[in-house]
């Protein structure tokens, strides 16, 4: 089966960039990204894209209006496609059975019902969203039970491994493409049809094909392993601080062992992002559901350690500032969960700002890409009431404006521009003693101390 028309349900951080890349690489395939969120679709059709991602503007501009389209007409997009990616959100369930652990699959289910209602002929449905193992079976059942026009379907799993901030590079040159499908002649034909789309720019040997359940589970496991490495190094950061060791030196030493490798062992104030916590909770829930409490507990510890890392950072600030931050201005540099994205989902900054506000600190936040409305929304959802938000939170347009008259400064996102701060200028602007809490270990310790700062760098002993 040759694919000539693709649609994607969900114009988010995954659907938008991924479809833009497919459209840019396959000019003969019509690619339509459909979402009911009118504001988001309007932004995708404008010069101010809803997702900040280096290189994204260029590929969207190349393909948009040619073979890349963004629409709110979801039914028409489904009807016109041979292959439909489902890239809707799968957040952690916040209610009922499995609340706080299981994935909320309501968007997946409604997408499947809509596909069944609208489709005619044969269609390939591709799970792009991260979902619990066996979800393809539920999708197959919903499609079979609701198809009104005798359509036939093959369901594939094709998880996305891009990381935000490097999405375009990851999509252009992926470590691998994973495609799972039924091991029947029809399933294998669908796998081949999707593989042939990626083969336009990805070498065949990087395309791994497997069965549905292995593919679905691999995505959760990949994220759990990555997050586990961060929690492992963060546990060691605390030991380094207590002993005088340097966590970056330890990471460098262990990372040269080819069995360990150098990536994902950078200590931080805690991992954030929409995926790691959600996907590990999902894995924990799966282990519990399949009667494997010890395996569940093992993975739960990765999240426990991450929560501890965020809390101990706040405690360090409060203790160092003579056990009170009440009324003290604290400059917060970085609110996004990592550099080169405007995404704040599960950002460590939300937890740290919330806890400082509960201590009645005044916080002055600067982030180069996150807008004020997003910061207000995040802090409100974290439980900060509007009055405290209005009196104790200031949004600044430079690191220097945030630092002015502050008692302390904390770096929470590793934006490149923070590596080139004018430190003498910062020092002059701040109250004395001037405290720095570097949650990303990006500032030069020796230079800070030489200037007179009282500096705490995550994972670095005195």
Chain residues that interact with ligand NAD, rule: CB under 6 A:
9-15, 34-37, 40, 74, 87-90, 107, 110-111, 114, 129-130, 160, 162, 164, 274-275
Residue closest to 115 by CA, chosen among 158, 159, 80: 80
Chain length of the chain: 462
List, in order, residues 6 or more apart from 168 with CB less than 8 Å away. Answer: 17, 21, 53, 54, 55, 56, 59
Residue number with CB closer to ligand NAD (30 or 362)? 30
7 assigned to active site: no
Measured CA to CA, the distance from residue 271 to residue 227 in angstroms comes to 7
Q: Is 268 in the site for ligand UDX (CB under 6 A)?
A: yes
Q: How far is the CB of 246 from ligand UDX (least distance, A)?
A: 16
Q: Between 179 and 458, name the residue whose CB sits nearer to ligand NAD.
A: 179
In angstroms, give the least distance from the CB of 231 to ligand UDX.
9
Beta-strand ranges (E) seen in 169-288 are 177-181, 207-211
Which residue stretch of 37-45, 118-126, 161-169, 283-291 sits at the interface with ligand UDX (rule: CB under 6 A)?
161-169
Q: Is the peptide bond before 433 cis (omega within 30 degrees of 0)?
A: yes
Among 53, 104, 160, 241, binds ligand UDX (CB under 6 A): 160
Site string for ligand UDX, 70-109 (x = CB under 6 A): ----------------------------------------
Find how far residue 219's CA is from the centre of its chain: 14
Q: Which residues within the stretch 320-339 sit at the binding site for ligand UDX (CB under 6 A)?
A: 337-338
Q: Which residue number, 37 or 61, has a Cβ lying nearer to ligand NAD?
A: 37
Q: How far apart are CA 270 and CA 334, in angstroms?
A: 13
Q: Nearer Cβ to ligand UDX, position 272 or 399?
A: 272
Q: Are strands 5-9 and 83-86 parallel, antiparallel or unpaired?
A: parallel
271 binds ligand UDX (CB under 6 A): yes
Closest contact distance (angstroms) between CB of 362 and ligand UDX is 25
Site for ligand UDX contains 378 (CB under 6 A): no
The one catalytic residue in 275, 287, 353, 396 is 275
CB of 6 to ligand NAD, least distance (A): 14
Q: Is 406 helix (H, G, I), strand (E, B) or coil?
A: coil
Contact positions toward ligand UDX, by CB under 6 A?
A: 160-164, 223, 226, 230, 264-266, 268, 271-273, 275-276, 337-338
Active site residues: 275
């Amino acid at each position: 089966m040759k694919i000539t028309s693709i649609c994607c349900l969900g114009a988010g951080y995954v659907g938008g960039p991924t479809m833009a890349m497919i459209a840019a690489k396959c000019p003969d395939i019509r690619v339509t990204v459909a979402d009911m969120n009118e504001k988001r679709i309007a932004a995708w059709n404008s010069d101010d894209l809803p997702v900040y991602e280096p290189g994204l503007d260029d590929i969207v501009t190349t393909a948009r209006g040619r073979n890349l389209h963004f629409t709110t007409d979801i039914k028409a997009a489904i009807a016109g496609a041979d292959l439909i990616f489902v890239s809707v959100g799968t957040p952690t369930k916040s209610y009922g059975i499995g609340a706080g652990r299981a994935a909320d699959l309501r968007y997946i289910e409604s997408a499947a019902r809509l596909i069944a209602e609208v489709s005619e002929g044969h269609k390939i449905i591709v799970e792009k969203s991260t979902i619990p193992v066996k979800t393809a079976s539920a999708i197959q059942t919903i499609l079979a039970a609701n198809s009104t026009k005798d359509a036939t379907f093959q369901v594939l799993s094709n998880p996305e491994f891009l990381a935000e901030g490097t999405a375009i590079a990851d999509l252009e040159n992926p470590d691998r493409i994973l495609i799972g499908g039924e091991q029947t002649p029809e399933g294998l034909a669908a796998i081949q049809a999707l593989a042939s789309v990626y083969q336009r720019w990805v070498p065949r040997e990087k395309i791994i094909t497997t069965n549905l359940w292995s593919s679905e589970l691999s995505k959760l496991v990949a994220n759990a392993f990555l997050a586990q490495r961060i929690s492992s190094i963060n546990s060691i950061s605390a030991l380094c601080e207590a002993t005088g060791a340097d966590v970056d030196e330890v990471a460098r030493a262990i990372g040269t062992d080819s069995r360990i490798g150098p990536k994902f062992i950078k200590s931080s104030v805690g991992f954030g992002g929409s995926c790691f916590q959600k996907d590990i909770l999902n894995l924990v829930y799966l282990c519990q559901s399949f009667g494997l409490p010890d395996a569940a507990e093992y993975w739960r510890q990765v999240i426990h350690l991450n929560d501890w890392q965020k809390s101990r950072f706040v405690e360090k600030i409060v203790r160092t500032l003579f056990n009170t931050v009440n009324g003290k201005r604290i400059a917060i540099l970085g609110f996004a969960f990592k550099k080169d994205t405007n995404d704040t989902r599960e950002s460590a900054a939300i937890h740290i700002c919330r806890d400082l506000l509960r201590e009645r600190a005044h916080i002055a936040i600067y982030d180069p890409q996150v807008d004020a409305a997003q910061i207000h929304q995040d802090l409100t959802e974290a439980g900060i009431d509007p009055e405290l938000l209005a009196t104790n939170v200031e949004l600044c347009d430079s690191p220097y404006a945030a630092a002015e008259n502050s008692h302390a400064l904390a770096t929470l996102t590793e934006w490149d521009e923070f590596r080139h701060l004018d430190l003498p200028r910062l020092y002059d602007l701040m109250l004395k003693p001037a405290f720095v809490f570097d949650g990303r270990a990006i500032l030069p310790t020796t230079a800070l101390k030489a200037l007179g700062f009282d500096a705490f760098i995550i994972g670095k002993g005195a």
